[in-house]
Amino acid sequence: MGPFDKFHEECGIFGVFNHPEASNLTYLGLYALQHRGQESAGIVSSDGSALHVHKAMGLVADIFTEPVLKTLPGFSAIGHVRYSTTGSSQIKNAQPFVVSGGIGNVAIAHNGNLTNAMEIRKELESYGSIFQSTMDTEVIIHLMAISRERALLDRLMDALVRVQGAYSLLLMTEDTMIALRDPRGFRPLSIGTIDGATVVASESCAFDLIGAVFEREIEPGEIIYVDKKGVKSYKPFVPVKQSPCVFEFIYFARPDSIIFGKNVYEIRKELGRQLAREYPKEADIVIPVPDSGMPAAIGYAQEAGIPIELGLIRNHYVGRTFIEPKQSIRHFGVKIKLNPVREILRGKRVVVIDDSIVRATTGRKIIKMIRNGGAKEIHFLISSPPTRYPCFYGIDTPTKEELIANSHSMEEIREYITCDSLGYLSIEGLRHVVGGEQKPYCYACFDGRYPVEFPVRIPKPQMPLFYNL
């Protein structure tokens, strides 16, 4: 790929201002947000006169040992977890970014994707900017650096009016913290308090872990500025139609979080109820795909009046360090993670529920596993519409061609998965559950209607060598 070797990112951010245990709290906050990114993690702390940083590849609990946390002193800190599917040693892309220079020392952590980052980067490079990473976030820093404004917030605004797309951001200097959401509010971001200190997190589940009080969500287009004098809120953007990501509800956020004004678990359960209304089945049991299909399966079972059973048991201790032995005993595939309970499945007509299908590789393996476990009839129901379009706003999805629902008919997918029937929730059903027409969301992965356009690359053969002849 181009200068941004990873276009699709998934991330979580956490920040705390004015607390003696700032980096410890950030460590715990990131721990609660680990589901939002497992490739790298970083924390930057401030002791009032300098920024301290530690970033590494891997999981939060492995990276931030006690000795490491001791190197992150101070009363404020921001942190980031990141997931991307390319590049194993992309430590240069780990966040928060820390820069120093004309703008002073600034750390930045970003969740989301900027859709015009590539264009801006090319422009800045033509003026001589030298980029350290392949992350879209870095363009914000460069734009801030070339701003003619003096105050940090003004520099930031100069940068933000140029960028498009999805960004929930945390910035920190030695004595301030800034948190904001893009005007469309693609990604969640909440604010809370603990012992009089301000905390900010991608999801409220991070507040629960540290015992912070969830105050409210930061609004789309709102900038929260925190310093020793207190917390200020600004709304400098011209309001635009909001488009929070509906896929946060379906798959990405943790079920115990409150995002976009709603509890994620309740929404998922309601999606399952809606699924039962759209696909009533004559079945003996409902089985969730652990753990992604769990809340929707509960909703389905309740609405349909069919008992729910754990027909698949998950090994919770499968880590990234697992080494697959060679040859003879290989090809466990999904068996490493899941095992069917034959006593539950034998001779049954089952409804299997998951939250989404991407490439359908998991679904196919799971359905075969349930069949081998003795199920007589298998109905595979999905608590979201067919995922047909890639996300350009911060959810990791494969290319359009690799999304099975983009390139195959329902019958072809059913045949591939080998289930007796296949059903996806309707977009109308999804819309109804998340609040109807009056609550706008981004449904681009389902309907291809992207709220923010992204530059389309000219296919190579047609690209003129010289533009202004």
Which residues contact ligand AMP by CB under 6 A?
A: 251, 289, 292, 354-363, 395-397
Shortest distance in whole angstroms from residue 10 CB to ligand AMP: 7
**Tokens encoding 279:** 């696909």
> Which amino acid type is present at position 287?
I
Residue 335 has what DSSP assignment? Answer: G
CA distance 53 to 46: 9
For residue 433, give the nearest of 295, 309, 310, 305 by alpha carbon.
Answer: 295
Strand order in the sheet with 197-201: 51-57, 40-46, 76-83, 10-17, 197-201, 190-194, 213-217
Shortest distance in whole angstroms from residue 195 CB to ligand AMP: 35
Query: Catalytic residue among 11, 245, 391, 442, which?
Result: 11
Q: Which is nearer to ligand AMP, 341 or 358 (CB)?
A: 358
CA distances from 347 to 149, 279, 287, 312, 314 (A): 71, 22, 14, 15, 22
According to DSSP, the β-strands at 177-181 and 223-227 are: antiparallel
Shortest distance in whole angstroms from residue 460 CB to ligand AMP: 29
- β partners of residue 11: 82
Q: Which is nearer to ligand AMP, 221 or 386 (CB)?
A: 386
Q: Which is nearer to ligand AMP, 39 or 222 (CB)?
A: 39
Shortest distance in whole angstroms from residue 251 CB to ligand AMP: 5
- β partners of residue 197: 194
Those residues with Cβ within 8 angstroms of residue 374's Cβ, 6 or more apart along the chain or in another chain: 342, 345, 346, 347, 348
Longest dimension (CA), the chain: 75
Shortest distance in whole angstroms from residue 416 CB to ligand AMP: 10
Residue 11 a catalytic site member:
yes
User: Would you report the helix, strand and coil content of the chain in percent, each value rounded to 5?
Assistant: 30, 25, 45
Q: Which is nearer to ligand AMP, 76 or 397 (CB)?
A: 397
Q: Which is nearer to ligand AMP, 136 or 248 (CB)?
A: 248
Q: Catalytic positions, please?
A: 11
